[in-house]
Amino acid sequence: RKEVEQDPGPFNVPEGATVAFNCTYSNSASQSFFWYRQDCRKEPKLLMSVYSSGNEDGRFTAQLNRASQYISLLIRDSKLSDSATYLCVVNRYGNKLVFGAGTILRVKS
Amino acid sequence: DTGVSQNPRHKITKRGQNVTFRCDPISEHNRLYWYRQTLGQGPEFLTYFQNEAQLEKSRLLSDRFSAERPKGSFSTLEIQRTEQGDSAMYLCASSVGQRGGLSNEQFFGPGTRLTVL
């Protein structure tokens, strides 16, 4: 079993839709949690950190449930430019990041 | 450009040849990481440096792989006797290490895409 599991998708949604991605992690010692975005053939870029209290950045909301070892990302009012692969990432202790395989989002007009 | 840079961006080589990649991190970052990404997968950790010290290596890093960061600035990743299974994107990232071992955000370079024929 992989340390970070994600539904690979693809999620095909129309512009303006709300879409949610989920992720589970297996190592309870994980300390930091992130969503990275990766465009085709580009490097990953940090989208947002994830906190137990939940955090929001514009149209994006991330949530962490430590008890269930579950991380979520909600995108509201999807734009064409949101089309990308979304990587769920955990960090055990300050050094290496452990990535999920990614969830592909395609937003269509 | 003050981001992480990697060279070359693409490398095509024949099986059995040696290849070397270079990574220049963001100048004030003391931590440097190497990851490998294959199609349809997320990046996988290979190794990381704090300044010039290599502090952790993944089991993915076989004896054919060696990484250095001699002056605590740029880093090189060498693969000896390349195999077709080494074909992947090799990503470098850097960050500022905090006290207690925590790191800030890791910033990734554009990667070096290796194709082994």
Which of A:52-81 have CB within 8 Å of B?
none
Cα(A56)–Cα(A94) distance, rounded to whole angstroms? 23
Q: CB of A99 within 8 Å of any CB in chain B? A: yes
3-class SS of residue A36: strand
What's the pLDDT score for residue A100? 97
Which residues in chain B have Cβ-Cβ distances shorter than 8 Å to A89?
42
In sequence order, which residues have a C-beta less than 8 Å from that of residue B34 and are 6 or more positions away? B23, B45, B46, B47, B48, B67, B75, B77, B90, B91, B92
pLDDT tens column, A67-85: 999 999 999 999 999 999 9
For residue B49, what is the nearest residue in chain A, using CA coordinates? A95
Residue length, chain A?
109
pLDDT tens column, A31-74: 889 999 999 989 999 999 998 888 999 999 999 999 999 999 99
pLDDT tens column, B31-45: 999 999 999 999 999
For residue B32, what is the nearest residue in chain A, using CA coordinates? A95
Q: CB of B87 within 8 Å of any CB in chain A? A: no
Cα(A7)–Cα(A23) distance, rounded to whole angstroms? 7
In sequence order, which residues have a C-beta less than 8 Å from that of residue A64 and are 6 or more positions away? A33, A50, A51, A52, A54, A70, A71
Which residues in chain B have Cβ-Cβ distances shorter than 8 Å to A93?
101-102
Along chain B (117 residues), what's the average pLDDT of each consecutive run of 10 residues?
A: 91 98 94 95 95 91 94 95 97 82 80 98
Residue A103, amino acid: T
